[in-house]
Amino acid sequence: MSDLKSQFLDKIKNKQAVIGIVGMGYVGQPLALRFTDVGFKVLGFDIDQTKVDELNGGHSAIEHIDDSLIAGAVASGMECTTDFARITDADAIILCVPTPLNKHREPDISYVTETCDAIAPYLRAGHIISLESTTYPGTTDEEVVPRATKGGLKIGEDIFVVYSPEREDPGNAHFNTNTIPKVIGGVTPACLEIGSAIYEHAIDKVVPVSSTKAAEMTKLLENIHRAVNIGLVNEMKIVADKMGIDIFEVIDAAATKPFGFTAYYPGPGLGGHCIPIDPFYLTWKAREYGVNTRFIELSGEINQAMPAYVFDKLVSALNDAKKPLRGSKILVLGIAYKKNVDDMRESPSVEIMEMIRDNGGDLSYSDPHVPTFPKMREHSFNLSSVDLSPEVLVSYDAVILATDHAKFDYDMIKANAKLIVDSRGIFRNVEPHIIKA
């Protein structure tokens, strides 16, 4: 065992290693809290000075992360900064930055490459870099490693690189950061050993794989599995609707089979940072190998079409009521991408809102988790959440149930809304003013 590797492992064992986390968002914050909780010093890095100031002041803008947890971590020594020169103070550098799609639905890994370029001048012997951002197989080897070694450091000897995909599920009360098994692949065996040693302190179960590419592919498979099955059930919903069948009743009945069936439920489209995006990362990379991933691409097309399907249901229902969309008052219920969270990433509700606005609808929204429409990279609304009451509901020509938050009073909604377009299967009884979408 090399002296540097041995020293690094001892530093990790004694919890003297400093954990640097780049990107203090939905992934970075829970990870920072966990490492702090088990006794490591944590340095959080972010380019957003406002976020850094809030975190250092003991406040998180993420709804499900309580301020008391942030304040406790700060009291235990966690600090956040926009100064990337302080990378030298960290021993482990964990990258939790966005990996969206560009306007052509192709991978945009600029956040990864720009972050690697930003930290490169401050890398030193004894650093380990862990990329957690979802990406295509080969990113770690092709993009991270060349930047980490540009100054002459040798992988597996001076500096160590791993890929370990994030597995956060905001709002899921059954799992947290430490109880979700952690997949990890190293560029070299030494990289894997050191990376595993770090994560084993914070995560109950670490799952090593043979390479960074295998770890990258694992993350894609997990989310493509969900995307494909949701695409299937969304298509089934459209067919069932044409036949006058309630797809939610069918799914619930099928789910009574104790083997060979997993229940997936349709909705207005896919949201969140991973599931709507990951299939396109693989299909894009597969073309480099001459492979056409038709099955995956088809499911992506179906899921992308669902916001328009819901919008068309709205227009049709208004027409039946002898009302045009233009000038009609429309209330969207729930704009977060999933129930009971404030996470707006890739929310299909936003696409529905844009279609209503762009076609002349008088648009409002109500979401108990999103009081004001947030700043987003590609979407903009100057709107705040409407408080629901019988008087408010009856004032709208139609409401669209886009996200089924538990805080909504569905009995009140059903009793007072003139027209309900239900994309979540909440209202099971067939009634004239409820449209299944």
- pLDDT category at 171 given cuts 50, 70, 90 is confident
Q: What is the pLDDT of residue 91?
A: 97
Say what the pTM is.
0.91
Residue 148's closest CA among 184, 123, 130? Answer: 123
Q: Does residue 352 belong to any structural domain of this protein?
A: yes
For 77-97, the pLDDT digits (tens) are 999 999 999 999 999 999 999
Looking at the fold, whether 53 and 150 belong to one and the same domain comes out as yes
Q: Does residue 250 belong to any structural domain of this protein?
A: yes
The pairing of strands 159-163 and 182-186 is: antiparallel
Which of left, alpha, beta for 183 (phi over 0: left; psi -120 to 50: alpha)? beta
Looking at the fold, whether 172 and 253 belong to one and the same domain comes out as no
Looking at per-residue pLDDT, the higher value among 276 and 344 belongs to 344
DSSP sequence for 89-154: G-SEEEE-----B-TTS-B--HHHHHHHHHHGGG--TTEEEEE-S---TTHIIIIIHHHHSTTSPP
Residue 177's closest CA among 32, 46, 278? Answer: 32
Q: Give the domain extent around 28.
A: 3-212
Active-site annotation holds for 274? yes
Q: How far apart are CA 192 and CA 134, in angstroms?
A: 19
As a whole number, the mean pLDDT across the chain is 94
85 DSSP 8-state letter? G
Looking at the fold, whether 149 and 26 belong to one and the same domain comes out as yes
Q: What is the pLDDT of residue 376?
A: 83
| Residue type (1 letter), 133 | S
- pLDDT category at 276 given cuts 50, 70, 90 is confident
Tokens of 73: 């971590």
Identify the bridge partners of residue 338 per DSSP, sorted by sequence position: none
Q: Does residue 232 belong to any structural domain of this protein?
A: no
Annotated active-site residue in 96, 116, 191, 274:
274
Q: Does residue 344 belong to any structural domain of this protein?
A: yes
Looking at the fold, whether 259 and 397 belong to one and the same domain comes out as yes
For 17-49, the pLDDT digits (tens) are 999 999 999 999 999 999 999 999 999 999 999
Q: What's the number of domains the chain is made of?
A: 2
Q: How far apart are CA 294 and CA 171, in angstroms?
A: 33
Looking at the fold, whether 15 and 154 belong to one and the same domain comes out as yes
Looking at the fold, whether 258 and 402 belong to one and the same domain comes out as yes
Q: Read off the CATH number of the domain in which 405 is found.
A: 3.40.50.720
For 13-23, the pLDDT digits (tens) are 999 999 999 99
C-alpha triplet 77, 82, 84: angle, nearest 5°: 95
Query: Considering only 36-50, 55-69, 140-154, 422-436, which range has the smallest mean pLDDT?
Result: 422-436
Looking at the fold, whether 259 and 129 belong to one and the same domain comes out as no
Indicate whether 1 pLDDT > 90.
Answer: no
Q: Does residue 237 belong to any structural domain of this protein?
A: no
Looking at the fold, whether 208 and 344 belong to one and the same domain comes out as no
Looking at the fold, whether 122 and 262 belong to one and the same domain comes out as no
